[in-house]
């Protein structure tokens, strides 16, 4: 899955370089990561045993600002996986025009197989091993799959042991220790914003539109909640246990509350009225809007013909493989790319970092307003370019992102 993501990202970037007529030297600079860190993480278990994991941090580009990107705790994490995701962060921060570069990393661990004490020790060891290659002006981690506010708080504490209280070292922290109001909901809220603007561009209102959301974690659950509140008819949602479908619309508020109360994944079909969905059935439902908000590579050449939606909004990173993206484009399906659609999280991470530097917490209304304004500017720039050049939103987004990073390199030099 990770090799497919890397291959497709490379193709999207290479196509943008071709359109921008870049020379080979600049292409090499833009493709090559600035730094790759790999560290051994021996964890002393609660029972006295030892498990050894590997931590990764790929710092892809810092020409537009400090490296920025999440930390993922998942058995699939490896060097290539982190590299692919770090590249995506470079283009994501550039397309929404915030002053960060791209980084990503994590640990090849299953967090569900460990106690909270073990995860705390592992996280703090990871920070110690990363040492001076992270920091508020260097590289600022954030949550990703398998991590959240809890882990970010541990990172802040571990870093403070030798650098002092510098909350800007990490974003996505609990509000009580320097996190931003609105950060938890930001990615899902952003997905809702761009979905609404995409509907307006297609001259089809979001209100009453049928929606299916694959993935009911932080991003998918909030996206579904905000879309329902905006008047869309969310008819199907799913998680790793399966899904639930109801043609008249689901009680998303009830599903959201039940998931929150359970502390994560639940059997969704048991929590509300509807028909049970298995496996990838949700992707082939006859809905107007499809939001893949789980993991990468879920829409691929083998199942792309099953997709019936007219609009696909990438809530996850790289959920549509490049060959599937071509097939959807040939059918006239609008795809809002991940580097724009799910950029709400990194946008509010930037706003959290700004608040940490100011040592002043903003009201949630201000955070949400800044988020919407930032994403609206990015959407307008991408959509205007796509319209004027008669190209896809993905091509337009990558053209803008790659071009902005190149401009920064030209201005700064080497």
How does the average pLDDT of the chain come out, rounded? 95
Look up residue 131 and give its DSSP letter.
G
d(CA 294, CA 274): 21
In this prediction, residues 161-171 reach a mean pLDDT of 95
The confidence band for 1, taking pLDDT boundaries of 50, 70 and 90, is very low
CA 360 to chain centroid: 26
Answer for the pair 268, 241: CB distance below 8 angstroms, yes or no: yes
Q: Tokens for 331?
A: 């059918």
d(CA 107, CA 249): 38
* Tens-digit pLDDT profile for residues 121-138: 999 999 999 988 999 999
The confidence band for 414, taking pLDDT boundaries of 50, 70 and 90, is confident
Taking the chain, what is the end-to-end CA distance rounded to the nearest angstrom?
A: 34
Answer for the pair 108, 77: CB distance below 8 angstroms, yes or no: yes
Strand, helix or coil at 149? helix
pTM of this prediction? 0.94
* Tens-digit pLDDT profile for residues 275-290: 999 888 999 999 999 9
CATH 3.40.50.10860 in the chain is located at: 33-166
In this prediction, residues 321-349 reach a mean pLDDT of 97
Q: Residue 224: how many CB atoms within 10 A of its CB?
A: 30
DSSP-assigned beta bridge partners for residue 43: 51
CA 399 to chain centroid: 20
Strand, helix or coil at 353? helix
Instruction: Report whether pLDDT(2) > 60.
Output: no
In this prediction, residues 64-93 reach a mean pLDDT of 95
Q: Which residue carries 């799910």 as its tokens?
A: 342
Count CA atoms within 13 Å of residue 91 on its CB side: 33
Class of domain 33-166: alpha beta
Instruction: Report whether pLDDT(186) > 50.
Output: yes
CATH 3.40.50.720 in the chain is located at: 186-341
d(CA 382, CA 394): 8
Q: Tokens for 112?
A: 């569900």
CATH of segment(s) 186-341:
3.40.50.720
**Catalytic residue set:** 104
Answer for the pair 125, 43: CB distance below 8 angstroms, yes or no: yes
> In the chain, how many H helices and how many E strands?
14, 12
């Amino acid at each position: 899955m990770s090799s497919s993501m890397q291959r497709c990202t490379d193709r999207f970037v290479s196509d943008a370089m071709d359109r921008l007529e870049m020379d080979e030297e600049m292409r090499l600079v833009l493709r090559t990561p600035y730094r790759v860190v790999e560290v051994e993480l021996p964890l002393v278990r609660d029972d006295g045993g030892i498990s050894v994991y590997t931590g990764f941090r790929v710092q892809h580009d810092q020409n537009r600002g400090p490296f920025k990107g999440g930390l993922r705790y998942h058995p699939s994490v490896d060097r290539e996986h982190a590299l692919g995701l770090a590249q995506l962060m470079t283009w994501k921060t550039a397309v929404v025009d915030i002053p960060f570069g791209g980084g990503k990393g994590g640990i090849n661990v299953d967090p569900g197989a460990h106690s909270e004490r073990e995860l705390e020790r592992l996280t703090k060891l990871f920070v110690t091993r990363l040492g001076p290659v992270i920091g508020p002006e260097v590289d600022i981690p954030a949550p990703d799959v398998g991590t959240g506010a809890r882990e970010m708080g541990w990172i802040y504490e571990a870093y403070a042991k030798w650098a002092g209280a510098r909350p800007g070292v990490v974003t996505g922290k609990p509000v009580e220790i320097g996190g931003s109001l609105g950060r938890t909901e930001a990615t899902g809220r952003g997905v809702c914003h761009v979905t609404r603007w995409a509907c307006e561009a297609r001259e089809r209102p979001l209100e009453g539109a049928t929606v299916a959301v694959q993935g009911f974690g932080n991003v998918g659950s909030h996206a579904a909640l905000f879309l329902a509140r905006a008047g869309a008819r969310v008819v199907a949602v799913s998680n790793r246990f399966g899904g639930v479908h109801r043609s008249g619309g689901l009680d998303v508020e009830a599903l959201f509350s039940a998931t929150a109360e359970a502390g994560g994944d639940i059997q969704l079909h048991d929590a509300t009225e509807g028909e049970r969905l298995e496996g990838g059935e949700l992707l082939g439902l006859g809905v107007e809007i499809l939001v893949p908000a789980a993991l990468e590579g879920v829409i691929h050449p083998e199942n792309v013909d099953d997709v019936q939606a007219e609009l696909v909004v990438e809530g996850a990173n790289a959920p549509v493989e490049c060959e599937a993206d071509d097939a959807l484009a040939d059918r006239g399906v609008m795809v809002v790319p991940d580097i724009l659609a799910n950029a709400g999280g990194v946008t509010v991470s930037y706003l959290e970092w700004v608040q940490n530097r100011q040592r002043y917490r903003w009201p949630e209304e201000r955070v949400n307003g800044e988020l919407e304004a930032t994403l609206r500017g990015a959407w307008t720039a991408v959509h205007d370019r796509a319209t004027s050049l008669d190209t896809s939103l993905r091509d337009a987004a990558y053209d803008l992102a790659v071009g902005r990073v190149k401009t920064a390199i030209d201005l700064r030099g080497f």
